[in-house]
Structure 1
Amino acid sequence: MAQIITSKEAANLINDGDVIVTGVDGLTGWPQEIVDAIEERFLREGHPKNITSIRASGGGNFTSPTAESQYLHEGMMTKSISSFVSVCPDLAKKITDNKIMGWMLPLGVFYQMYREIGRGMNGAMSKVGLGTFMDPRNDGGKLNQLTIDKGEDLVKYVPDFMGEEYLYYTLPKLNIGLMRATTADKHGNISCEKEPINIGLLSQAQAVKANGGIVICQVEKIVEVNQIHPRMVKVPGIYIDYIVVAEKPDEIMQNWIRSNKDGYNPAFTGEAIAELEEIKPMPLNDVKVMCRRAIKEFKPGYVINFGIGMPTSIPNVLNEMGQSDMVTMITETGCIGGVPALGKDFGCSWNVEALCDHGDHFSLFDGGNLDAGIFGLSEVDEKGNVNTSHLNGKIGGVGGFANISLSSKHLIFIGTFTAVGIETKIENGKVIIVKEGKFKKFIKKCDKTTFVAEESLKKGNDIVFITERCVIRRDKRGMVLEEVAPGIDIQTQILDQCEFKLIIPDGGPKLMDPELFKE
């Protein structure tokens, strides 16, 4: 039966060299008071040191020194294993500067590993990541020279298993599980009614217990046994060793930007239904144009996943058009239905219809049941391969991208044609490039690859890149310049800004629909 302890007592349970797995996405699920106590203990005693931090998603909010920044004192955390690090800039810099070891693996594969470890296996086999930087024939997911020189090999290449090639993913032995929930009863059963995402807590707890470790959960309140409906229990008490009751529940973060006290949104958890008129229409700009053009790729009844960044604006535009019901909108976090939220509300959905477990949700992707995946356009080479993990000297993240891009039947990438400092405006139905970006996105060859276009084409998938000035489709011919926006000079503003030769179809590219550029 779970013991109720203080956060300070929880911190004393962490030993030097422990491998800590945390259920987190941004700041959703982050057990802040436990981590505060762990950090305070290290600053006071110098322990725990040499810890390894494992997360399927990234922990942080892109700006403030929270979440894993608190582990970055000299000697405290020496290894980081996740699918996403740019959400915590301090961590990304430590890895870039070769100060700590870092591995990046596909988000969905983490949950598959948790499940396999939980049933006594060592890891999980997957086709996700083949040919990318996570393939051990390339970097094996290792993010810096320190990891290449001293880090263990977490990924193995399996050239022939029943006639097919795979990658076999493993993790160090998980012995500490940290998680956050809303309510616990006196037997340790926990529920997550105020969490906007189901972050695979059960599979993580099972993996830790299979390794003989301990699971610690922070909650807002304790209730009597049977006061939590049994169907609401996310992790049964038999998997929970210790419960910490938060002393400052108002400061608990619902997501990256909303706390219980400031901005908590019950429409993200199913506790309330919001009037979608609350979502303000976007102004007419390059982002809105790209979103409108992406919507033209949709077919009624599509199940569509919206990635981080610019794709999160598409649901807003669909809602403004009165077309929200044309497709089923989902997010990689397990939100199904409703309208995916913008910006740093990413991962949550307004009026969500179903909250699938994060790990279970990836079976939808890996099973090939996603009609379309919408992704930000980061860096693309002449073969249509995409790099999302290492951009302009900075480490970003692969997140769920590797899983989703491999199996989506229709891949739609949206983003500006160049990066960093680009300025555009829509005027009189035309696109005007006020200032060109510092970096080209369409380059000769990606240094790191997170999406292999040829493998996707073999499956019969459709691949299109939508920018503010043109549309490029990758087909069996190569990278084809299919459409050009009004006001754009093909030679100076497209061909000269691309490091490889685009294929020009017979008769030249079409003009993008002029209606896209009107109020």
Structure 2
Amino acid sequence: MLPLPSQPVRPLRHWKTLPAEQAAALIGSGSTVAVSWLGDSLPGALQDAFRHQRTPRDLTVVYGTAQGHGRTHGLNLLAEEGLVRRVIGGQWHPVPGLHALAVANRIEAYSLPVGVINRLFRDIAAGVTGHLSRSGIGTFADPRHGGGRLNPATREDLVRVVHAAGQEALLFRTFPIDVALVGVGFLEGTAEMVMTRDAMTMARAARKSGGLVIAQINRVGTLRKLPIGQVAVADTLVDVLVTTDGHDRAGDVFATAPAPRTIGWPQRA
């Protein structure tokens, strides 16, 4: 557990601080939701809203990496048929709940290289219509080998083969991000917001798309110095801050938990 702040911090000024239930209500049906980090509070609130009110519905969930939460935590709380319509993921083994829906052909499911997904967020933030890469040629991401589609329910092509400078390349189509869900911490004594570089890029992609950035505190206490791989960002990058009681499960805490039982990969289309 990180130390609590030893001195007062300046007021939070550029975002709304909301409980998870109210933050979840801001996510509309049909939204494309990009996820860089997710505890239990926010997805739990989405799950409850869907079960009791049948809304939001038909979400598209996009993520590069997913930390190990176990079967009933984090992204797995979104594994409700009807709540999620499509998943575009870089890693599927940490999300057995969504994986099971893909195996059962109940959601559209894509598996794309993690690096490509992270660069897609960068290109969305830059306003580029597609990401051009030679990464994935001849693999499952190549449209001649399925284009990353994992089951028969997944029909739309997100990847095209093109020729650039006399060489074959893959063009991964970009898309608007309606909501970005990111984890944040704060530097002690300043309340300066800290997040990973990938989370910052994802948040900027949502900003470029005219979307919403919802941040959830993923650390207990404040940080004395900037952690490796994280950056300080402007307050204005976040619209809503979801606070927790300190008992919300954090992805990195449970990354060493035993791997879930294998339930079989869906067949790529």
What is the distance in 1 between the residues matched to 2:75 and 2:146? 24
The 3 A distance-change label for structure 1 pair 186 and 16 is: farther
Residue 246 of structure 1: aligned partner:
244
What is the distance in 2 between the residues matched to 1:106 and 1:9? 33
The 3 A distance-change label for structure 1 pair 156 and 165 is: same
Contact 1:123–1:171 (8 Å) recurs in 2: yes
Residue 432 of structure 1: aligned partner:
none
Contact 1:115–1:207 (8 Å) recurs in 2: yes
The 3 A distance-change label for structure 1 pair 142 and 251 is: same
Residue 66 of structure 2: aligned partner:
58
Higher relative contact order (CA 8 A, sep 6+): 2
Partner secondary structure for residue 254 of structure 2:
coil
Structure 1 position 255 matched with structure 2 position 252: yes
Residue 92 of structure 1: aligned partner:
99
Residue 145 of structure 1: aligned partner:
152
1:42 Cα offset (Å): 1.4
Note the 1:199-278 alignment, pairs <5 A. Answer: 200-219=198-217, 220=219, 233-247=231-245, 249-255=246-252, 257=254
Partner secondary structure for residue 146 of structure 1:
coil
Q: Amino acid of the residue matched to residue 173 of structure 2?
A: T
Partner secondary structure for residue 42 of structure 1:
helix
Cα deviation 1:136-158 (Å, max 9, x = unaligned): 1221111000103xxx2111111
1:9 Cα offset (Å): 1.3
Out of 177, 184, 192, the position equivalent to 2:180 is 177
Contact 1:156–1:169 (8 Å) recurs in 2: yes
Out of 24, 46, 52, the position equivalent to 1:11 is 24
RMSD: 3.0
What is the distance in 2 between the residues matched to 1:65 and 1:105? 24
What is the distance in 1 between the residues matched to 2:132 and 2:150? 21
The 3 A distance-change label for structure 1 pair 207 and 187 is: farther
Residue 70 of structure 1: aligned partner:
77
Contact 2:184–2:193 (8 Å) recurs in 1: yes
Residue 394 of structure 1: aligned partner:
264
Partner secondary structure for residue 146 of structure 2:
coil
1:168 Cα offset (Å): 0.8
Contact 2:67–2:252 (8 Å) recurs in 1: no
Contact 1:183–1:190 (8 Å) recurs in 2: yes
What is the distance in 2 between the residues matched to 1:57 and 1:36? 20
Out of 56, 65, 81, the position equivalent to 1:48 is 56
The 3 A distance-change label for structure 1 pair 37 and 203 is: same
Out of 148, 170, 173, the position equivalent to 1:167 is 170
Note the 1:291-310 alignment, pairs <5 A. Answer: none
What is the distance in 2 between the residues matched to 1:7 and 1:37? 6
1:120 Cα offset (Å): 0.8
What is the distance in 2 between the residues matched to 1:2 and 1:187? 16
TM-score if structure 1 supplies the norm length? 0.44
What is the distance in 2 between the residues matched to 1:104 and 1:118? 21
1:212 Cα offset (Å): 0.3
Residue 34 of structure 2: aligned partner:
21
Note the 1:374-393 alignment, pairs <5 A. Answer: none
Residue 416 of structure 1: aligned partner:
none
Residue 126 of structure 2: aligned partner:
119
What is the distance in 1 between the residues matched to 2:231 and 2:46? 27
Contact 1:177–1:215 (8 Å) recurs in 2: yes
Larger radius of gyration between Structure 1 and Structure 2: 1
Residue 9 of structure 2: aligned partner:
none
Partner secondary structure for residue 153 of structure 2:
helix
Residue 157 of structure 1: aligned partner:
161
What is the distance in 1 between the residues matched to 2:187 and 2:17? 10
Q: Amino acid of the residue matched to residue 17 of structure 1?
A: G
Give unpaired runs (5+ residues) of structure 1.
24-28, 193-197, 259-342, 347-391, 397-446, 449-519
Identity rate, percent: 23
Contact 1:189–1:240 (8 Å) recurs in 2: no
The 3 A distance-change label for structure 1 pair 202 and 243 is: same
Residue 6 of structure 2: aligned partner:
none
Contact 1:85–1:395 (8 Å) recurs in 2: no
Deviation larger for 180-189 or 32-41: 180-189
The 3 A distance-change label for structure 1 pair 184 and 8 is: farther
Contact 1:179–1:217 (8 Å) recurs in 2: yes
The 3 A distance-change label for structure 1 pair 167 and 115 is: same
The 3 A distance-change label for structure 1 pair 98 and 240 is: same
Contact 1:18–1:50 (8 Å) recurs in 2: yes
1:85 Cα offset (Å): 1.2
Q: Amino acid of the residue matched to residue 53 of structure 1?
A: V
What is the distance in 1 between the residues matched to 2:103 and 2:201? 31
Q: Amino acid of the residue matched to residue 167 of structure 1?
A: L
What is the distance in 2 between the residues matched to 1:173 and 1:73? 23
TM-score if structure 2 supplies the norm length? 0.82
Contact 2:66–2:95 (8 Å) recurs in 1: yes
